[in-house]
């Protein structure tokens, strides 16, 4: 039995101490649970944020007690969503498996939620560290918030949510124009006939019969694929152990990281000039729930002075893994468990930008601890995100072994005019990937472009089952990074009937076309 959510919705800037309570609907946290749901349940609002002494207009997703949702297993998200801004809204419930397709991709009936409009949401929350965000360019203006549902077996640990953002004083439209691209995202929530010029206007849905093959291997499927002018150098020579893609060039393109220059990087909407300080207990255990809400930036996460171990990715549990720095691509989440020494102290949680020395973060501190000033520049730059860490992950609840019913090869493409494609087409030009509910589906992403692409599938968690041609039983995720020149294969069982987006979680790649539909019949 599920129960309606009676939310305490604290700011992600607050530490969260879960107090287990008996009885249906009993929720308790530092700050207090149990307040009646006000209408609306969630309101998207325009707010002013101070970033390094300069005011900026951004968005916030607010509830009765602050920003975001923090619930526990068995709760429903049920109530009204108000668009209290002057910008049309398409909200995505990232990581949620039971959100109906019409609520996940657009307002019921299709299209965007108009300024001042209200929609209803009602679905059982998927346990884990998830989030909600705009599915249009307004995501760049911090239109995102945590959507965390505490697991039934989380134990008596302190939960600390850290949400990362890349920030610019420029509008997303200015950023996109500077990249040389045209916004193909438009009214993507509304059903419409495919537009052959969709890269330069509003995007529509194509509901033609599926592309792809049944029980075909990626190599077989490649024969008829439009390579969009790209060759795939080195693909045949790759082995499962080849993880270094840092300085490769393919098809005349050099691999690079972020293609957007940002003014600041934020952790819980603050920079390291004035970081959030989260109070922790001496000798206590903390679960860091870290969400990469950056639109175009990958980070490396570290916790100097402590020994973090990864226990979940994208809200799903994995076998514990330790590392000096944990890669986190756009849209991904990671849960790190740390033990505070009996003597206490102050411990930074740092997020360093990929291929850069820039960083942001928060500080964990016990009572009376001395907190040193932190520079927003690391001593040395990080490298590029690769798949070395991904290859070490293993799901604790993997998919049952089964032969794929359908296999789709998917070529990630880059074309002049900042046009990013899937199988040579931008969103609205190609047919959907058509599957039937319950089928085991495999997709192999191949990337000859100059950048990594964090590929995200709505409404599903998938398992990473292949890296560089080597099969493995990897993590369960909803977003996987596909570096240049390194094929990645995922598998999932087709879930609820409807149309689910598959897209790159780099906002400007998605906005200019790198998106398609998985149609479940």
Q: How is the chain split into domains, by residue range?
A: 3-157, 187-253+393-520, 264-391
Instruction: Report which secondary-structure segment, H or E, holds 104.
Output: helix 101-105
What is the model's pLDDT at position 185?
52
> How far is C-alpha 494 from the geometric centre of its chain's CA atoms?
20
**Cβ burial, residue 107 (10 Å; 0-12/13-18/19+):** buried
Domain 264-391 belongs in CATH node 2.60.40.420:
yes
Distance CA(515)–CA(413), nearest Å, equals: 11
Domain spanning 187-253+393-520: which superfamily?
Cupredoxins -  blue copper proteins (2.60.40.420)
What is the model's pLDDT at position 236?
31
Instruction: Report which secondary-structure segment, H or E, holds 178.
Output: helix 172-179
Distance CA(429)–CA(504), nearest Å, equals: 16
List the pLDDT tens digit at each of the 521 positions of the chain.
444 443 333 334 333 333 222 222 222 222 222 333 346 899 999 999 999 999 999 999 997 678 999 999 999 999 999 999 999 999 999 999 999 888 887 766 678 999 999 999 999 999 999 999 999 999 999 999 999 999 999 999 999 999 999 999 999 999 999 999 887 654 443 333 223 223 323 333 322 333 333 333 333 333 223 333 333 333 333 333 333 333 333 344 577 888 999 999 999 999 999 999 999 999 999 999 999 999 999 999 999 999 999 999 999 999 999 999 999 999 999 999 999 999 999 999 999 999 999 999 999 999 999 999 999 999 999 999 999 999 999 999 999 999 999 999 999 999 999 999 999 999 999 999 999 999 999 999 999 999 999 999 999 999 999 999 899 999 999 999 999 999 999 999 999 999 999 999 999 999 999 999 999 99
**Strand 15-17 versus strand 158-167 pairing type:** antiparallel
Whole-prediction pTM: 0.84
C-alpha distances (whole Å) from 76 to each of 30, 120, 216, 485 are 21, 13, 40, 42
Residue whose pair of structure tokens reads 């001496």 in the numeric block: 282
**Cβ burial, residue 494 (10 Å; 0-12/13-18/19+):** buried
**Cβ burial, residue 244 (10 Å; 0-12/13-18/19+):** middle
Residue whose pair of structure tokens reads 């730059």 in the numeric block: 381
Distance CA(472)–CA(395), nearest Å, equals: 11
What is the model's pLDDT at position 254?
73
Please name every residue paired with 249 in a beta bridge, in sequence order, or none if there are none. 254
What 3-state class would DSSP assign to 284? coil
Distance CA(206)–CA(429), nearest Å, equals: 7
C-alpha distances (whole Å) from 143 to each of 58, 135, 146, 245, 281 are 7, 9, 11, 32, 32
Q: Which CATH number fits domain 3-157: 3.40.225.10, 3.40.190.10, 3.40.50.300, 2.60.40.420?
A: 2.60.40.420
User: The tokens of 118 are what?
Assistant: 């209200």
- Contact 136/190 with Cβ under 8 angstroms? no
Distance CA(226)–CA(222), nearest Å, equals: 8
**Cβ burial, residue 59 (10 Å; 0-12/13-18/19+):** buried
């Amino acid at each position: 039995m599920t129960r309606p959510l009676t939310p305490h919705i604290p700011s992600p800037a607050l530490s969260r101490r879960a107090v287990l309570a008996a009885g249906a609907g009993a929720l308790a946290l530092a700050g207090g649970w149990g307040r009646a749901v006000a209408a609306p349940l969630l309101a998207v609002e325009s707010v002013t944020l101070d970033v390094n002494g300069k005011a900026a207009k951004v968005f916030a997703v607010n509830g009765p007690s602050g920003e975001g949702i923090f619930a526990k297993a068995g709760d429903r998200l049920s109530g009204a969503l108000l668009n209290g801004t002057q910008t049309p809204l398409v909200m995505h419930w990232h990581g949620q498996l039971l959100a109906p397709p019409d609520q996940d991709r657009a307002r019921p009936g299709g299209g965007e939620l108009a300024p001042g409009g209200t929609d209803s949401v009602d679905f059982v929350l998927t346990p884990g560290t998830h989030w909600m965000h705009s599915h249009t360019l307004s995501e760049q203006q911090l239109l995102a918030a945590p959507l965390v549902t505490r697991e039934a077996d989380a134990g008596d640990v302190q939960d600390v949510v850290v949400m990362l953002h890349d920030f610019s004083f420029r509008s997303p439209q200015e950023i996109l124009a500077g990249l040389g691209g045209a916004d193909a995202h438009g009214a993507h929530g509304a059903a419409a006939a495919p537009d052959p010029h969709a890269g330069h206007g509003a995007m529509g849905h194509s509901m033609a019969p599926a592309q792809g093959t049944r029980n075909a291997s990626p190599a077989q499927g490649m024969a008829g694929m439009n390579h969009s002018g790209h060759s795939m150098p080195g693909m045949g020579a790759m082995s499962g152990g080849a993880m270094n893609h840092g300085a490769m060039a393919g098809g005349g393109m050099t691999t690079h990281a972020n293609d957007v220059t940002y003014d600041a990087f934020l952790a819980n909407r603050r920079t390291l000039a004035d970081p959030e300080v989260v109070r922790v207990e001496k000798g206590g255990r903390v679960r860091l729930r870290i969400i990469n809400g950056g639109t175009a930036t990958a980070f490396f996460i570290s916790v100097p002075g402590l020994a973090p171990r990864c226990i979940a990715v994208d809200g799903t549990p994995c076998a514990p893994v330790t590392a000096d720095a944990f890669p986190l691509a756009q849209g991904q989440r990671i849960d790190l468990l740390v033990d505070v020494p009996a003597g206490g102290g102050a411990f930074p949680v740092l997020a360093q930008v990929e291929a850069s020395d820039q960083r942001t973060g928060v500080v964990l501190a016990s009572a009376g601890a001395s907190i040193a000033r932190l520079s927003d520049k690391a001593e040395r730059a990080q490298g590029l995100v690769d798949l070395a860490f991904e290859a070490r992950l293993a799901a604790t609840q993997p998919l049952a072994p089964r032969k794929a019913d359908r296999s789709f090869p998917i070529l990630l493409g880059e074309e002049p005019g900042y046009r990013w494609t899937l199988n040579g087409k931008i969103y609205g030009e190609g047919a959907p990937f058509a599957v039937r509910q319950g089928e085991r589906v495999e997709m192999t992403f191949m990337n000859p472009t100059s950048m990594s692409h964090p590929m995200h599938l709505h409404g599903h968690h998938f398992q990473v089952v292949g890296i560089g041609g080597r099969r493995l039983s990897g993590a369960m995720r909803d977003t996987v990074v596909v570096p240049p020149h390194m094929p990645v294969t995922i598998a999932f069982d087709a879930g609820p009937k409807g149309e689910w987006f598959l897209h790159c979680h780099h906002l400007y790649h998605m906005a200019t076309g790198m998106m398609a539909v998985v149609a479940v019949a």
